[in-house]
Structure 1
């Protein structure tokens, strides 16, 4: 791929550093993004597998019996805590794993952390495929969760640190793009394996090893980030790698920015303790809130349980899996929109527009289901088709906004001294609320019925106001200059820095007075 010149000398008008979009950066970003393919494949595969009769007969016979009961309540046929635990246990493991990965990532680098992620995922795929009882099945899910935790902790940081500022958004969204591709692949795999009796579900679960092996092999050729190398005392190698990935010789300004950030970071002995300082609160709050909002859009209701949801509306098993594949295709195409638009129009515009779009979709879906799907009837084909179209409309909005930007923004807003710790809180929060939604959805569907869509619509409305008033724009800002150029200038968040600066000046003045007195 030919290099694309961003700046010939001195950076761009907005303060970017001299850089080209080199083949090295593109290849490294794509390979690392295969961690997203692992994550996405699991998201897509679990919902399809839990709708397969062979899987239910072996592990959840009670659910199988409820599913085929002639008079069973449409909204409650899949309400089973153990069945939900199959999906959600991965995310509990991912929370613990991402904490370990945040420490591992800082001490041993982003590259090795990514390699560990792929190893965990391969082990999890093997255990899941060969599961002979529920305990072994859950053990496989826990290993997969460790892989997700390590991968989600390291990969967005890796891409943000190697990407030229001007292309950081587009390259980072490769991670989310591969998540959507993974979901789509899983939907088609499930559609095919649903006909392979009685072991189709094993083929589906075993397929998780494919993206993990690609990542494991590919990660041997990616480079470590210059920031991580300098952070671990390898300055000469860091400078050499920076020149290589930027494609220009004049990298001194960016290198000094990295060195300065590293020296500041080295003065911070306890990054988690430092993360709770007043001046770190804006970044921490925004990164956590984005993850909560991402899950409370209701997207994982669609992605985890799309086949189950479509069967609830009256689609046959094959038709429900195919409908899920259609929404997965929309997901991929719409994420490509984010790739092309995020560094052109910025983060806020995409988030605000999509919030309006998702609000409309959730509200109308809730209205249709509340009037057309009763306790034991089947929704008419016309209304069921309209719901599928609205779900696609909803998914498209999420895919070019809150999906990819939920990972991008937290990866670019923290200063180096708390970057790993801060991003852990983003990943951990994402996994926690993914777990809560995955564990609770089928029960919520049983009790709230169509009201569940109005529940998520209310959250989307809150998200809209947050994006308008409290989210700063980070487009085009070098990653180590965020504090000065973004947070200290935001109408609301700047107050968290003014007081600290005043205190700092006061401390300095007091120290000078004491010295003079002595």
Structure 2
């Protein structure tokens, strides 16, 4: 088998994942800057971070059908253009509305890239290495996240609007991605299924796996096409024939996001500041999060075609549950001490004067602290204290928080991160794959938006203890779902997977 050529193709396509990861994580370093520059409330901040997912939903719902019509390659080229436009415009934005529009454009690119890249790779990859090659997309996503954290750390000290540089630097990899895509072929399965261009597809398949591989693959595709009456439709997704596939797809898409992974990636420095860290240390800890994600994604790529998809999901979701429970425990045991030095460090003079009478007091929870402050501060002052000042008073086992977050990210990186997209690229029948993954991707983005939008509000109003407790509960439910519903697809051709899952 010729591994080098399919690896090259897959790596180039997966560079879209790098941009996706970079775009997702770079905002974490810019949160403070954009919040101050545009004078945002908690809700506006959550929307400015989460609005990218609205664009992703548009990309999700349209990318599949468009890729069926125009081809996977052309849609990937379009995503590269969208990433470029978004990076430049968001860096140059002078109003809140401009910034939101620029972020949404980038989101459309994310929605297209996150769906079409794994579809394309699955369609060109030989079965024995398909899981590893599809996982290259997830590897590039986490590589983009790590590079974004490094980039943010080195750009954070630029004196004037460092957030503009953080967001604008994405233009460079976006342009590189566009020109790299010009070197890859069209999907051979798409050429046959949509246009019956057998000779063109055969030339590509020979370069991927040799004459015998090309002949066998074309025979399988033809056999599968012969069984199809018509192209897939949205209505077909609701048929009883696809019930098993739909349960797996929507379930895994729901649990991948509801367990809070994007809250960690989008707000990593904010979370570590909640645990009492300084701005510098919080950015450094975010880098460690990115590196952990990268290392364990490499582990997943090595194991996904050896152990299989389901064992990785079981190990990962179980560990995520334990890790999030640890974080809940750490924040629940935190105390809040109002000593003289901490009170003097408050920037808002009115707040400082209002709570000076509490000097020397200690509280066993955020709730007890806020209940005491409630009659002393007006509404806006209390919100300001919750957002900006409470972290100065926390006494917490910060090491336990760091271990919990890193364990959670590592577990996600070997399970729900790469495995979900591998499964989605495998389980849907070829005639409906584009439409189906668009719908599931839209749903996945909707759940992601909900988590991202409400996270700043949850930290302010529910506190970190209850926030992480909710995520821990969801991780436990995801483990139960995997045990009951997810099937193994390791080593099977796409046609064999379809035959085993689709009811006659």
Report the TM-score, using the length of structure 1 for normalisation: 0.84
Is 2:86 the partner of 1:124?
yes
Is 2:266 the partner of 1:252?
no
Is 2:462 the partner of 1:481?
no
1:377–1:304 CA distance, 2 compared to 1 (3 A): closer
Deviates more, 1:43-52 or 1:214-223: 43-52
Alpha-carbon distance between aligned partners in 2 of 1:481 and 1:228, rounded to the nearest angstrom: 18
Unaligned runs of 5+ in 2: 336-364, 367-389
Runs of 4+ in 1 over 6 A off after TM superposition: 379-382
Listed one character per residue, the Cα deviations across residues 455-510 of structure 1 (whole Å, up to 9, x for unaligned) are 111111111111112111010110122132x326xxxxxxxx2xxx4xxxxxxxxx
Unaligned runs of 5+ in 1: 1-19, 64-79, 489-496, 502-518
Q: Retained in 2: the 8 A contact 1:313–1:379?
A: no
Q: Which residue is equivalent to 1:515?
A: none
Alpha-carbon distance between aligned partners in 1 of 2:472 and 2:396, rounded to the nearest angstrom: 23
How far the C-alpha of 1:173 sits from its partner, in A, is 0.6
Listed one character per residue, the Cα deviations across residues 217-254 of structure 1 (whole Å, up to 9, x for unaligned) are 11000111110111232121112211121133453222
Say which of 13, 19, 23 aligns to 1:32: 13
Alpha-carbon distance between aligned partners in 1 of 2:393 and 2:190, rounded to the nearest angstrom: 55
Alpha-carbon distance between aligned partners in 2 of 1:222 and 1:356, rounded to the nearest angstrom: 39
Alpha-carbon distance between aligned partners in 2 of 1:272 and 1:473, rounded to the nearest angstrom: 26
Paired residue secondary structure (2:186): coil
Q: Which residue is equivalent to 1:105?
A: 67
How far the C-alpha of 1:262 sits from its partner, in A, is 3.2
1:181–1:381 CA distance, 2 compared to 1 (3 A): farther
Q: CA RMSD in A?
A: 1.6
How far the C-alpha of 1:184 sits from its partner, in A, is 0.6
Q: Retained in 2: the 8 A contact 1:190–1:204?
A: yes
Spell out the pairing of 1:64-463 with structure 2 (5 A cutoff).
Answer: 80-233=42-195, 234-265=197-228, 267-373=229-335, 374-375=365-366, 376=390, 378=392, 383-449=397-463, 450-463=465-478
How far the C-alpha of 1:82 sits from its partner, in A, is 0.8
Q: Retained in 1: the 8 A contact 2:334–2:396?
A: no
How far the C-alpha of 1:446 sits from its partner, in A, is 2.1
How far the C-alpha of 1:263 sits from its partner, in A, is 4.0
Alpha-carbon distance between aligned partners in 2 of 1:480 and 1:208, rounded to the nearest angstrom: 38
Alpha-carbon distance between aligned partners in 1 of 2:209 and 2:309, rounded to the nearest angstrom: 24
Paired residue secondary structure (1:196): coil
Alpha-carbon distance between aligned partners in 1 of 2:396 and 2:237, rounded to the nearest angstrom: 52
How far the C-alpha of 1:84 sits from its partner, in A, is 0.8
How far the C-alpha of 1:22 sits from its partner, in A, is 2.8
Is 2:35 the partner of 1:56?
yes
How far the C-alpha of 1:57 sits from its partner, in A, is 2.4
Paired residue secondary structure (1:473): coil
Is 2:8 the partner of 1:22?
no
Report the number of matched residues. Answer: 450
How far the C-alpha of 1:385 sits from its partner, in A, is 2.1
